[in-house]
Structure 1
């Protein structure tokens, strides 16, 4: 931001500098000044579909849904092949795309000059529109096509993920933690919500962020960034030194890591006693989190494997989550996640609080009270009325958490059951056996 101010001082009419400044505000969670910049840019030059797109994203995040929809549709009007604009409309989860918009997406997908990103986003958006029309076979076809485009762009290896999981299970044993009891920074501030995307983590975040003592931030990259630095990889083919190198660190080193995390996350906070880090992939780093921040809270957002995995398969992720572009990959990833969480339940009993999504929507108040008790927070009625909280929400569930809890989406995956054999095979009978056929949480909610 400081560098941009220097550039603007020398060339205040350069629109690229203003776009960058607005994007920087967004990254810092300061959406109102970003919205003002986008509005000024569009007043000066109305034909800017990508600025309309960014404007729509910022409006959506702060809950101005009608204006966001108008901005997205303006982007579509100005750039009919802009897949991100269609997907942004579909990704609101509360908008029904019109017949004309469906026809326009179908026509755009036939054009040979589409970029892979536009092709994938158009496919995901069209699939969502067809699902809303209960045309499930056609919808699955387009979900699969969009995922295949994304899969070809990624370099995900399920075997590498399994090996990484097994390495963590072998390293983080009870003896390792016992020898380092009392290490780490004392800060009790962080509340980590981990799990898989689309497992209900945004709902949990919104519930907790509706408490007067808790602030919601976003999916923070700091833990993953620390783990990568500790791994010391210079090239993608190098073997990471993490987590094994943690065995060579002393108490002071571990405390410094915790203090660094607290220091680096201050930029996202405004002063409440507790804050939420909702990066779902942090479940891979529970060992590191417990070691460097022994007083932090860790919440596992768990959802029925078929519901969670297929919801992830239907989601176009702008970045990361490379495992989600194949039913087999996402099933294997979920299986590894369950194995790793079971391991930490065994070596750190009671350390992680699990919330089963299906149980939460069925017995909402009781589960919210359990959650607050685990976090050491007094009950506040506002947590039950989380949908009245007007905080900015950046994830794909932003519009859903502005409504009361509803049960309609729990079983949506059943409409696609004929297509889910690869997913069920990858999950394996051991994982699926824990979840009754009615989709309830079974024993997984303990």
Structure 2
């Protein structure tokens, strides 16, 4: 199909009554009405690229990102000049954490269309996910100069400034966002999430006024509740603080529908499958790369502190929480599901259990290649600190047997309550209910105990409180496990100017302190559901 023919096809499709009706249904989120209209059109005219693009949008709306991607690639195959489809493809790739590919499509769109603020905004976000902070900040500066009354642009700019350690400028950007849109809850939470900002009485009144606003969305509301919780906690108004945390968590939990039994079943599957015999049969499989260092465990357990310490070493580079291991594991699970014709998703473990050693080695090499874009130095080792990788530890062991594993562990009540006070941008669905969190922590401990039993010495555990009490001793033991010499810079980690993307970014720019210890105690009478779900785990800690 030529470019001219493609343009004609698009123009004709946009005048088609069937597609106009489908577009209206999509705009009103009546997907059940849009789908038969689009399927009918594509049955009659399979090369209608406008209909293909709309079907891709429908697939994305219901979470079928792979199907959406395939449809958009088909549209571009038929009509390479279809810029809207290419822009949609960039968004779909971004949502799949495939940031370099998203940037490739965005650069093509911008080269064709020139000035496109929406795509420049997405490009800035994608650059931020691969460590291109300077270019991202430059793009945001240009955009806010052109759109000074766009609150979410100021917010995104603030996020990027926070990441590179420009805290004062970050706070100023957040306040500019609030001057435009005082009810934008995510900005209030972003200020609270710096952990170093203490809200004024005027801020508190502004947040209370925002919570009372008519038509406030649930998203703004739960962000405001989390921010109000922090404001009340700073004033030692613990009952008010807990009421706000509970309200925010309840709203978020109702959105996410987390089922704790799913995690329990997954851990049971790992324990039942990854026996010494299973691992012995696969000894020597996987890729020989020894440069990845994985820091795993619960969120809010001190992993960012460990990463900051290690990334201050001359041989170790810190990156960020990389999405690649879960993405690869779930891709293999989906492939098995497709091959077996199952309706329910197969666990990644079922997929890797059937793999030949060569395939495991190829997956290890793929991980190293996928993460190469995150590495900005020539240091021989790099860190992937996605905490949730504990659930994929068996996958890591099979594809990268020489990778180093560090388990960051913190007192169960401090760790879990810290999660309860934290709103995460995405994921961590277990963290919005105290009982769910206790079950999740217990399942994590069960899984790690299993690997300690079947692979003694494979995992090095850092107990957060012990690191605070004896930093030099714990750091020396940690570096010895990694096989690198002790360096004084690791003790002076707070002087490291590297970018930090996580909620602890400002905390790890300070010397070691005990500010986060025993923060659960003023709230203990509210924590019975958490204690019950943890069982004796919190009493026996750290001897688990």
TM-score range, shorter chain: over 0.9
Equivalent residue in structure 2 for 1:118, among 220, 244, 257: 220
Alignment of 1:215 with 2:321, yes or no, is: no
Q: Residue 294 of structure 2 aligns to a residue in which SS?
A: strand
The offset of 1:128, in angstroms, is 0.5
Q: Are 1:361 and 2:478 an aligned pair?
A: no
Contact 2:408 2:464 in 1 (8 A): yes
Higher mean displacement: 122-131 or 258-267: 258-267
1:198, CA displacement in angstroms?
A: 0.1
User: Deviation at 1:135?
Assistant: 0.3
> 3-state SS of the aligned residue for 1:263?
helix
Find the structure with the greater CA-based Rg: 2
Which residue of structure 2 aligns with residue 254 of structure 1? 360
CA contact (8 A) 1:84 1:118 kept: yes
What is the Cα deviation at residue 341 of structure 1?
A: 0.5
Name 2:447's counterpart in structure 1.
340
2:291 to 170, 177, 189: 189
Residues 237 and 280 of structure 1, relative CA distance in 2, 3 Å threshold? farther
Give per-residue Cα distances to partners, 1:208-246, cap 9 Å, x unaligned: 111111111111111101110121256996141421232
Point out which structure has higher relative CO (alpha carbons under 8 A, 6+ apart): 1
* Number of residue pairs the alignment of both structures matches: 437
Distance in 2, matches of 1:355 and 1:2, equals 40
Pairwise CA distance, 1:361 = 0.3
Q: Kindly tell me: are residues 173 and 155 of structure 1, through their superposed partners in 2, closer, same or farther at Cα, counting changes over 3 Å?
A: same
What is the TM-score of this pair, normalised by structure 2? 0.79
Which residue number corresponds to residue 300 of structure 1? 407
Q: Which residue of 2 aligns with 1:26?
A: 128
Structure 2 residue ranges without an equivalent (≥5): 1-102
**Residues 76-87 of structure 1 aligned to structure 2 (within 5 Å):** 76-87=178-189
Task: Give ranges in structure 1 of 5+ residues lacking alignment.
Answer: 436-440
Q: 1:397 to 1:241 in 2, by over 3 A?
A: closer
Q: Please name the residue that 1:179 is paired with.
A: 281
> What residue number does 2:207 align with?
105
Q: TM-score, normalised by structure 1?
A: 0.96
For 1:265 and 1:236, locate their aligned partners in 2 and report how far apart those are by CA, in whole Å. Answer: 31
Partner of residue 154, structure 2: 52
Alignment of 1:34-49 (within 5 A): 34-49=136-151
What whole-Å deviation, never above 9, does each CA across 1:68-103 have from its counterpart, x for those lacking one?
Answer: 000001111110100011000000000001111111
Task: Pick from 411, 416, 425 the counterpart of residue 309 of structure 1.
Answer: 416
Distance change in 2, residues 1:42/1:246 (3 Å): closer
Structure-2 separation of matches of 1:127 and 1:317: 15
What is the SS of the residue equivalent to 2:247? helix
8 Å contact 1:254–1:292 — kept in the other structure? yes
Q: Detail structure 1 runs of 4+ shifted over 6 Å in the superposition.
A: 234-237
Question: Does structure 2 conserve the Cα–Cα contact (< 8 Å) formed by 1:171 and 1:244?
Answer: no
